[in-house]
Amino acid sequence: MTTEVTLPSTSASPTTRQVWTRTRGVALALVLLLAAAIAIAVVRSDARHGELDPRSADPYGSRAVAELLAGRGVDTRVVTTLDEAAAAAAPDTTLLVAVPDLLTPGQQTRLHSAFIGSRGRTVLVSSGSASVERLAPGVTADPATSLDSTLSPDCDLPAARRAGTADTGGIRYTTTHLTADECYPSERLATLLRVPAPSGDGDTVLLGAPDILLNDRLDEHGNASLALQLLGSRPHLVWYLPSLADSSTASGEGERGFIDLLPSGWLWGTLQLFVAAALAAVWRARRLGPLVPEKLPVAIRASETVEGRARLYRKANARDRAAAALRSTTRTRLAPLVGVPTPQAHAPEALLPALSAHLNGDGQSLHTLLFGPPPGDDAALIQLADQLDALEREVRRP
């Protein structure tokens, strides 16, 4: 009675548990990174709510300076559209533009045309290279910002001399206007610039940083004095907060894409993530190099190795490779037995004549057996293995 023992099949594919074990570290890192990004975004969103808004009492709001101006008889009106800002230009009005760089080139040109002949005052807060050349022709923003926050006036502008030191350090400006007042210099470039209008009593004031207008910085140095003098020279103050919802941004020319509206910090953060991912891939990648032989920790029986390899061939339905391996091994073992050098064991013209002379058999049948086509099914493969085994036993028979 013959008992057939069925061994468990061997799978080369990793299990779900193995995949999770290998990737859980990366998954955990991604979850922590996403949670940190969300937390930072929430914190920054809460902290910056109402930034430079005269109605906001947040640390970055400007309600304190609006209240002080109201005590001096200056009424403050907040506008969020270009039409309202352009219509407000008048000799008795100070127009403050909170974030000039948010305006499109077309909006900047239109706003400049509205206030240039109004004989009023225009205050541009942190106007960078994206807006200063259109809103204040003849003025250029330096690419390098001031390293110091608190600076001394060092100019003849009465408002600056009365205020003394103030936190104006930010964007630095140069100008071709000979009559301009260049105040609070940082490395010889002004962080507060007053440019008189070509005609009349109007002027344009460029403020390199918004610090003197913020609630949490107003009581430091001469910030309050400077802010009140710059914004309180006329009885009316129009505080323009540019908004992306303004219908004038849909004019077509100069529209900004989604990438242009993203803060630079997020772009740098994304670049750093890509660099980190590349470094992690290099760190975890497979090293290609020469094979290094190592001793196995345990001895594996040859029968187990043969059985495992056979199962892999069977799973891949690779009868051709299995037959080629059986024939190649048989030829290698038969060649020395019939006097053929091992390097020529796989050459039919060298091996087959020697085998035919040794066995006195048919060379054509030997060629089909040792060099023939692959078997068509598993039964033919088993038959081939039996025939090769019988051939080797016959050659070895004395």
Q: Is 65 helix (H, G, I), strand (E, B) or coil?
A: helix
What are 123's strand-pairing partners? 96, 205
- In this predicted model, what pLDDT tens digit does every residue of 99-152 receive, in sequence order? 898 888 888 888 888 888 788 889 999 888 888 888 988 899 988 888 888 899
Answer yes or no: is pLDDT of 364 > 80: no
- In this predicted model, what pLDDT tens digit does every residue of 1-21 receive, in sequence order? 343 434 344 444 567 777 777
Q: What is the mean pLDDT of residues 148-170?
A: 90
Q: What is the mean pLDDT of residues 206-229?
A: 90
pLDDT of residue 173: 92
DSSP secondary structure letter of residue 369: H
The continuous run of DSSP H or E covering 278 comes out as: helix 264-284
The CB density around residue 205, as the number of other CB atoms within 10 Å, is: 23
Answer yes or no: is pLDDT of 262 > 70: no
Retrieve residue 140's tokens. 């250029």
**Nearest C-alpha neighbor of 128 from the set 116, 143, 114:** 143
Query: Any idea where the domains of the chain sit in the sequence?
Result: 62-243, 303-396
pLDDT of residue 47: 47
- pTM higher than the cut 0.85: no
